[in-house]
Amino acid sequence: MAKVGVYVCHCGSNIAGVIDVEAVRAFAEGLPDVAVARKDLFMCSDSGQEMIKQDIRDGLVDKVVVAACTPRTHEPIFRGALSAGGLNKYLFEMANIRDQDSWVHAQDPEGATRKAKLLVASAVGKAARLRPLEEKYVDVTKAALVIGGGVAGIFSALELAKMGFKTYLVEKEPSIGGVMAMLDKTFPTNDCSACILTPVMVEAGNHPNIELLTYSEVEDVEGYIGNFNVKVRRKQAYVDWARCTGCGACAEKCPSKTPDEFNMGLSNRKAAYIHFPQAVPKKAVVDMAHCKSCGGREIGTEPKISEKTGKPLLAPCEKACPADAINRTLQWDPAGEIKEIKVGTIVVATGFQVMDKGWFKEMAPDNKNVITALQMERLISATGPTGGKLLRPSDNEKPHTLTFVSCVGSRDEKHHTYCSRVCCMYMIKQARLIKEKYPDVNIYMHFIDVRSPGKDYDEYYTGARKMGINILRGKVGGLEVLPGDNLRVLAYDLDACAPVEYESDLVILATAMELPPTAKKLAQTLGLQFCGSNFFKELHPKLGPVETSTEGIFLAGCCQGPKDIPDTVSQAKGAAAAAAVPLCQGRVKIEPIISEVHTEKCSGCGICVPLCPYNAISLKPYAEKPRAIIDITQCKGCGVCTAACPSAAIVLHGYEEDQIFAQIAALTA
């Protein structure tokens, strides 16, 4: 007969404040199979654990039930106590009488005590029937994948590479760099964004351990921590990157124009283009959606021959390329190519997008002189559409009065309730940069309140006031369009308790940061969850800020929530360190609470195969008949197959039939 030890925790007053702990203990003592029942103020404390260890060493107990809080946080601690006492750590069961009892039934102490007894009886029923389980280990692939090549992804990749791990950096655009590459200067030091980012981009591009996979997206991920099999699709560039030198001759000659994403639509790029001047890798792509196939040069067709010269008639891009990297006669596959890679851990660093101004109807979104702050970055950047001259979009004239509008789409229940965290600071930055360069420009900034927590940040803000930048508290309510495409700002001065109206030449909206819609697909592929603000959810808001609920997958940068560059880089380095841990360990543990097929009972019906959400089951010949077999590295122990098997051939270790029936019996007694 089993000798179950039951240990009931007070959890300070968390449990004992509602539940009669002594009554539960006394009840447990009387249960079949129970050898001892004890209680303690904090079972997880050293003394509580010692109590369990001592009972094991004294031979009093050989199965353990702790009635306390949640196994999510505390199961590992008590399992450790079992091991230390000399028992197999899986001979342990937890009854959650806190989260699922005292906390939710605080109004009904008697009922809560009754429920605690039932939960304990059920745990004892199961514990008495537990069997020891054995842990297995598999080797890890010592390589990492970083998805997203913004400043977060670049730093994560560099850290991992420097630790000696082969790292793949997947970026959907032709070049790495992300939003930081689009910025003019950066707060609070005003150093030029490109000047500090470009060297790091180049380092990542040249590092022997980093393989850049740009213009690429992750299509499929299989496997588990330590051994992920990843399919990456490289989009078709229609340019042979092995030959392309990034000279840009093709772009110069290409006649087809389309809005330039890098300049946020403020200028045009060609169909054949290089992402931006400092691109890494600096390679051209032909954007087929906008390519006109000049001269009938459809991809994969032979060129016409000129009657005059007898030479083939080529498209301007082909003709222009001095490196012969563009050959439209070749059969380029429009779907691009798939590359399969194996990695041990994954860092997701796919960043954010800023909201489009079209959402904000009161802000005259159809007017050209209403722009987003990211457009403003391009407008004042030396590589931007005006070469860094402050000219407004409607007439290319220098604006004299500028208005900054905060919290556009942030802190707004119609859009996003969260604060985007960086806009107050980058607006102040833009205002300061403009005021420094053009002291005669009037600048009005409207904030609900200025949010500038961070090292040297508030000084940066008060400095802006000293420079003569006008800062008003109060949210702008709307814009009216005046003749000549000027805007009348309808604002309010909270301090003066009065409405404010004036004419402005250019209005900058600090539109909210949010996840791009493509993030949904990636989340499905990787099994990521979303938080309340619709960013990727970390494992724990305080203690697991870079981990996710999927082991082996980590988060860095703005895909986890809005943040500035210092925080992004810190998190990126943290995520890299966390992602390196399993790679350094060299092996990962396989949970023993997984399913197993008793091959001799299996009829080979195959019902379980398509049901498994993790594709862990396949039919393999056994004594010349097809039989189900479960890949222990893929199984997550969900139990779907166990429940579905008509021959009862599958057991889920740790949740075996007799154990579950004993629990049901106890709960319904």
Partner 1 sequence: MPAIVLDSDKIQDSVKRIMEYGGTGVLKCVQCGACSAVCPGVKAGFPVLCRLLIKKLLEGQFEELVEETSTWGCQACNRCTEVCPQGVRPQEVVFAYRRYQASELAFSSSATTSQMNLYGTGHAVFTEAGPLREKVGLPAKAPTSAYDEKAQKEIQTLLDNSPMGELGLF
Partner 2 sequence: MEKYGLYLGCNIPFKAPDIEQSFRKVFPALGIEVTDLPGAGCCPAWGTAPSFDLTTWCAVSGRNITIAEDLDVPIMTGCNSCFGVLSEAKHFIEADASRKKAVNEKLGLINRQFKGTSDIYHISHVLYEKVGLDKIKESLKYDLSGLKVAVQPGCHILWPSDVYHVKEKNSFFPTQLKELVEALGASAPHYSRLEACCGMGGMRSTDVEKSLELFKTKLLSIKEEIDPDCIVTTCSSCFLQFDMSQKTLKERGEIDFEIPVFYYTQLLALAMGFDPANVAALCVTPRDAIIAEIQSEARKVREQEPLMTLAPSIDR
Ligand X SMILES: Cc1cc2nc3c(=O)[nH]c(=O)nc-3n(C[C@H](O)[C@H](O)[C@H](O)COP(=O)(O)OP(=O)(O)OC[C@H]3O[C@@H](n4cnc5c(N)ncnc54)[C@H](O)[C@@H]3O)c2cc1C
Q: Which residues bind partner 1 (CB under 8 A)?
A: 362, 407, 411-414, 448, 473-478, 490-494, 497-501
Least Å distance between CB 421 and partner 1? 17
Question: Pick from 56, 508, 522, 575: which binds ligand X (CB under 6 A)?
Answer: 522
β-partners of residue 224 are 227
**Candidates 6-14, 238-246, 290-298, 403-411; binding stretch for ligand SF4 (CB under 6 A):** 403-411
Residues 6+ apart with CB under 8 A from 34: 4, 5, 6, 28, 124
According to CB under 8 A, which one of 86, 483, 517, 646 is a site residue for partner 2? 483
DSSP string, 561-626: S---HHHHHHHHHHHHHHHHHHHHH-EEEEPS-SEEE-TTT-----THHHH-TT--EEEEEETTEE
Positions in 405-464 near ligand SF4 (CB under 6 A): 406-407, 410-411, 419-421, 423-424, 451
Residue type, 296: G
Task: Please list every residue from 316 through 375 that binds partner 2, using CB under 8 A.
Answer: 361-362, 364-366
Least separation in angstroms between CB 640 and ligand X: 29
Nearest CA-CA partner of 248 in 203, 278, 224, 291: 278
* Residue of the chain from 125, 174, 178, 654 that contacts ligand X (CB under 6 A): 178
Number of residues that bind ligand SF4 (CB under 6 A): 11
Cβ 597 to ligand SF4, closest distance in Å? 54
| Spatial distance between the Cα atoms of 491 and 445, rounded to a whole number of angstroms | 10
Footprint (CB under 6 A) of ligand X, residues 407-426: 422, 426
**Helix/strand/coil for 280:** coil
Q: How far is CA 354 from the centre of its chain?
A: 16
Minimum distance of ligand SF4 from residue 492's CB (angstroms) = 8
How many angstroms separate the Cα of 364 from the Cα of each of 392, 399, 504, 601, 658?
Answer: 15, 18, 13, 71, 68
- Contact residues for 104 (Cβ-Cβ < 8 A; gap 6+): none
Compute CA distances 84 → 74, 584, 592, whole Å: 16, 26, 19
Provide, rounded to whole angstroms, the least separation between the CB of residue 534 and ligand SF4.
Answer: 15
Give me the least distance between CB of 140 and ligand X, in Å please: 23
325 binds ligand X (CB under 6 A): no
Q: Identify what 423 binds: ligand SF4, partner 2, partner 1, none; CB under 5 to 8 Å per kind.
A: ligand SF4
Shortest CB 374 distance to ligand SF4, Å: 13
Beta pairing, strands 345-348 & 553-555:
parallel
Binding test (CB under 8 A) with partner 2, winner from 480, 567, 591, 596: 480
Cα-to-chain-centroid distance, residue 194:
25
Buried b / exposed e along 606-628 (16+ C-beta atoms within 10 A): eebeeebebebbebeeeeeeebb
Residues belonging to the chain: 669
Closer by beta carbon to partner 1, 82 or else 405:
405
39 versus 172: smaller Cβ distance to ligand X: 172
The residues of the shown chain that bind partner 2, judged by CB under 8 A, are: 361-362, 364-366, 478, 480-483, 488
Residues that bind ligand X (CB under 6 A): 147-153, 170-173, 178-180, 183, 186-187, 217, 349-352, 354, 373-374, 377, 422, 426, 429, 518, 522, 557-558, 563-566, 568
